[in-house]
């Protein structure tokens, strides 16, 4: 009797396993349905996959024209022209990235200090200067602190001395077309040097040595600012301007060096209007201009200019903005 019960339980367990195994198998029709109803790449919680056109577009826009004004040296240390040196170091670092144009031929007669009033930036005047220069981004900066110290042995014919210089820099970036601040950042740099001192009045205690070590600290701080600036600028869409309209030819202030290509389609927009707060008179930014039509790039002019023809629309004027379509 017990043998029969064990046999029955064994057969029942085998049947259950077969049923379970069968239930795990999916029919071809079920698989097709699952494939048909597969969720879209875009979901409420998921990231949207880029389309082919978006992927190609993300490969790179034309380079933006950037001007760095000489920094304001807001410290008691006036030796070594630290404001000019800091700006030159930032310009050099941005130029070496090859991801933007830092024009060396523009005549700029103003510096950061010209646009500071108390603790505020005179944004409206700054943006007007950027439009006059025909650029996309203006950078202003300030040297906020300089510290120099020496430590080491005070006795003995030959003494070990360590000199340390530290510098704090800050900057702000402004989108000229949008008339707004897009980034503020601050970085510090430190430089040190060890030397053996044989005489009381040694070279490492001279003003020139102090200035040179301070400049090295400025260079280190400026190098740290470069990635911040590049990241902020590359978030902006590219914009250029119409430099001249002559019969059926339209000349744009960007070309091969900026990364435009023959066949590119550009949308044309009116410059827009400056907007001020009616209560305080504060400059709020620039409104989006009305779209006038599109251009097609047909040729290049000089090192960084383009020749375009009207594609759609009309009433295109000198000073109008252009963007990639």
pLDDT, position 196: 52
Structural domains of the chain in order of their starting residue, each with its CATH number = 66-234 (3.40.50.10610), 240-324 (2.40.10.410)
d(CA 170, CA 144): 7
d(CA 55, CA 58): 5
Q: Are 197 and 171 in contact (CB under 8 A)?
A: no
Evaluate if residue 98 carries a pLDDT over 80.
yes
Evaluate if residue 320 carries a pLDDT over 80.
yes
d(CA 164, CA 220): 13
How do the residues of the chain divide into helix, strand and coil, expressed in percent and rounded to 5?
A: 30, 35, 35
pLDDT, position 55: 56
User: What's CA 214's distance to the chain center, in Å?
Assistant: 27
Q: Are 84 and 276 in contact (CB under 8 A)?
A: no
Evaluate if residue 318 carries a pLDDT over 60.
yes
Q: How much is the average pLDDT of 274-282?
A: 78
Evaluate if residue 239 carries a pLDDT over 60.
yes
CB-based contacts of 161, cutoff 8 Å, min separation 6: 150, 151, 152, 153, 194, 195, 196, 197, 202, 204
CB-based contacts of 122, cutoff 8 Å, min separation 6: 115, 116
pLDDT, position 155: 57
Q: How does pLDDT run across 13-24, given as a tens digit for each residue?
A: 443 443 343 344
Q: How many CB atoms lie within 10 A of CB 304?
A: 21
Query: CA angle at residue 87 from 86 to 90, to 5 degrees?
Result: 90
CB-based contacts of 207, cutoff 8 Å, min separation 6: 79
101-105: long-range pairs with CB below 8 Å, 24+: 101/63, 101/64, 101/65, 101/66, 101/257, 101/258, 101/304, 102/65, 102/66, 102/67, 102/68, 103/65, 103/67, 103/135
Q: What percent of the chain has pLDDT over 90?
A: 48
Report pTM: 0.74
pLDDT, position 233: 94
How many angstroms separate the Cα of 226 from the Cα of each of 63, 88, 94, 111? Answer: 16, 12, 6, 19
d(CA 208, CA 204): 8
d(CA 47, CA 229): 27
């Amino acid at each position: 009797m017990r043998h029969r019960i064990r046999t029955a339980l064994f057969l029942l367990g085998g049947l259950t396993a077969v049923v379970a195994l069968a239930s795990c198998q999916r029919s071809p029709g079920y698989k097709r349905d699952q494939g048909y109803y597969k969720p879209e790449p875009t979901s409420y919680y998921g990231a949207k996959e880029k389309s082919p056109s978006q992927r190609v577009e993300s490969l790179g826009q034309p380079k933006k024209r950037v001007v760095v004004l000489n920094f304001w040296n807001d410290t008691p240390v006036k030796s070594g022209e630290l404001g000019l040196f800091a700006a030159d170091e930032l310009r050099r670092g941005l130029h070496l990235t090859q991801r933007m144009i830092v024009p060396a031929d523009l005549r700029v007669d103003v510096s950061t200090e010209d646009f500071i009033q108390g603790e505020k930036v005179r944004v409206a005047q700054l943006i007007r200067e950027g439009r006059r220069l025909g650029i996309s981004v203006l950078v202003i900066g300030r040297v906020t602190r300089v510290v120099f110290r020496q430590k080491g042995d005070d006795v003995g014919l030959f003494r070990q001395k360590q000199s340390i210089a530290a510098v704090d820099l800050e900057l702000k970036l402004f989108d000229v077309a949008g008339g707004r601040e897009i980034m503020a950042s601050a970085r510090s740099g430190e430089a040190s040097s060890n030397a053996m001192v044989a005489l009381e009045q040694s070279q490492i205690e001279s003003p020139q040595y102090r200035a040179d070590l301070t400049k090295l600290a400025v260079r280190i701080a400026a190098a740290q600012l470069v990635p911040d600036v590049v990241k902020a600028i590359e978030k902006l869409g590219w914009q250029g301007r119409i430099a001249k309209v002559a019969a059926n030819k339209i000349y744009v202030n960007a070309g091969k060096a900026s990364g435009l290509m023959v066949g590119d389609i550009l949308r044309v927009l009116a410059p827009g209007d400056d907007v001020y707060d009616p209560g305080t008179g504060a400059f709020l930014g620039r409104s989006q201009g009305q779209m006038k039509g599109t251009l097609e790039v047909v040729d290049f002019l000089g090192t960084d200019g383009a020749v375009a023809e009207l594609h759609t629309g009309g009433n295109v004027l000198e000073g109008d903005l252009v963007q990639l379509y």
